[in-house]
Amino acid sequence: MLYKFAMRNIWRNQRRSFVAIGSIAVGVFGLLFLQGFFSGLIALHKENSIHSRFGHGQIMTRGYWGQPFEKPWERWIDDPEDLINELRAREEVAQIFPRVQFFAMLSNGSLNVAGRGQGVVGASEEGFFDKMNFVSGHALGQEEDGLVMGVGLARALGVKIGDPVTVLGQTVHGTINAVDTRVVGIFHVGMKEADDSLFQLQLPKAQILLGTNKIESITVALKDESLWPVFAEHVNRDFPEYEAISLYVLDQVWAENGELFLTALLNIFRLVFVGMIMLAIYNSASNTVLERKRELGMLRAHGEAPQELIQLLLIESIMLAFLGAFIGVVSTYVIAFFAANGIPMPPTPGTNRELPVRLDLRWSYLLTASCLGLVTATAASFLSTLQVLKLSVVKALRSPV
């Protein structure tokens, strides 16, 4: 019977009900959208780092990372095939990419520009490193003499797709060497440091340039990011001469510091936003009850027990809160559907490319936002009802309608 009366009261005063539902829906929508947006932004930075440069992590000889060496090639990985085959056999590993990094001069015949080169296996890397954002041409692929470079480096060198470029460098024996290549792709990863200096060529071509068959590192692509601790533990235990270095160490600025900064910013916004939402919902729910002093006084005069009135108003507030939370959640998912390609955002500091941020809507965010609306509205209704019931029946009946 109470549920029937509660539904009748909700529809009897539609203006009051719509205001209550609207305030809850806006609050749930705002909090869910805020959490989904920041989570999507964090995921976007991480995905760019993983699929444009570093993978999920890299394997190097122990003690090599972050240390300066007069002859770094002496600490490179010699005869890596056995190690690569062992790593490929791991259940959590999706792909393995041997690489070598070096500094060299690039020449178009009349102009020389310094750059940071990477020797890679283009055919295997093409599918995984899909966030390099080629503005012209294509990935290295199977182009034996191919060369891909950042848009800033290409602009400085004055080259375009199809132009010949000579790469000049120093071999591990101290002599000068050169290889001829042809530009097949120009990428724009969005990080100025990479776009202005990075270029890639095939690993065998880089090894010819450097005069060695060694590789500097092995980049690892896992089936799931969460498997990295298991993989790293295996490498450090079974291959003590090597070290597994995670993405958060390789790309500390964006993968680690960026995530920590955005998470801290989200927590600040969440705290402020939650406070505002709770006040708005509490005010709306309280007014819904306080406007009904005379009605509640008449019910008490007809013999209704205070406990029954509390139950009635709580049922009404829970119904309104559920409906408002449902509308807020549905509205957020509708926005996420129409913004499936991402919400365009201007470049962040240190980048030079727009970031299309997709809403990352998780079940935990949905439950948090919905519970906030439900709990706040119910608590406000309960406290306001107690305040009204403290009034005498006479005062309640004399309250304005």
The Cα–Cα gap between 116 and 106 comes to 10
pLDDT for 183 equals 96
Mean pLDDT over 66-75 rounds to 87
**pLDDT (tens digit per residue) in 14-39:** 777 787 788 888 888 888 898 888 88
At 279 the three-state DSSP class reads helix
pLDDT for 357 equals 84
Which stretch of DSSP H or E encloses residue 116? strand 112-120
pLDDT for 293 equals 62
Highest mean pLDDT among 230-239, 264-273, 294-303, 343-352: 230-239
Distance of CA 383 to the CA centre of its chain: 40
Residue 364: pLDDT band by 50, 70, 90 thresholds? confident
pLDDT for 70 equals 84
**pLDDT (tens digit per residue) in 250-301:** 877 666 666 777 788 888 877 777 777 777 766 766 666 666 666 666 666 6
pLDDT for 333 equals 92
Neighbours of 178 (CB within 10 A): 13
Residues 6+ apart with CB under 8 A from 401: 294
Neighbours of 320 (CB within 10 A): 28
Nearest CA-CA partner of 348 in 196, 190, 193, 134:
190
Highest mean pLDDT among 191-195, 231-235, 381-385: 231-235
Strand partners, 134: 187
- Residue 349: pLDDT above 70? no
pLDDT for 107 equals 94
- Residue 158: pLDDT above 90? yes
**pLDDT (tens digit per residue) in 106-151:** 999 889 999 999 999 999 998 898 888 888 999 999 999 999 999 9
The Cα–Cα gap between 114 and 224 comes to 36
The Cα–Cα gap between 126 and 146 comes to 13
pLDDT for 97 equals 94
pLDDT for 68 equals 84
Mean pLDDT over 169-196 rounds to 90
pLDDT for 19 equals 77
Q: Rounded to the nearest 5°, which phi and psi values hold at 55? A: 65, -160
Taking phi first (over 0 means left), then psi (-120 to 50 degrees means alpha), and beta for anything else, what does residue 219 get?
A: beta
**Which one is predicted more confidently, 362 or 9?**
362
Strand partners, 90: none
Distance of CA 9 to the CA centre of its chain: 45
pLDDT for 156 equals 94
- The DSSP symbol for 174 reads S
Percentage of residues of the chain with pLDDT beyond 70:
82
Q: How far is CA 176 from CA 88, 118, 208, 347, 354, in A?
A: 35, 18, 12, 40, 40
pLDDT for 256 equals 62
Tell me which amino acid residue 398 is. R
Q: Mean pLDDT, the chain, as a whole number?
A: 83
- Residue 72: pLDDT above 80? yes
Least confident piece of the model among 214-218, 269-273, 335-339, 392-396: 392-396
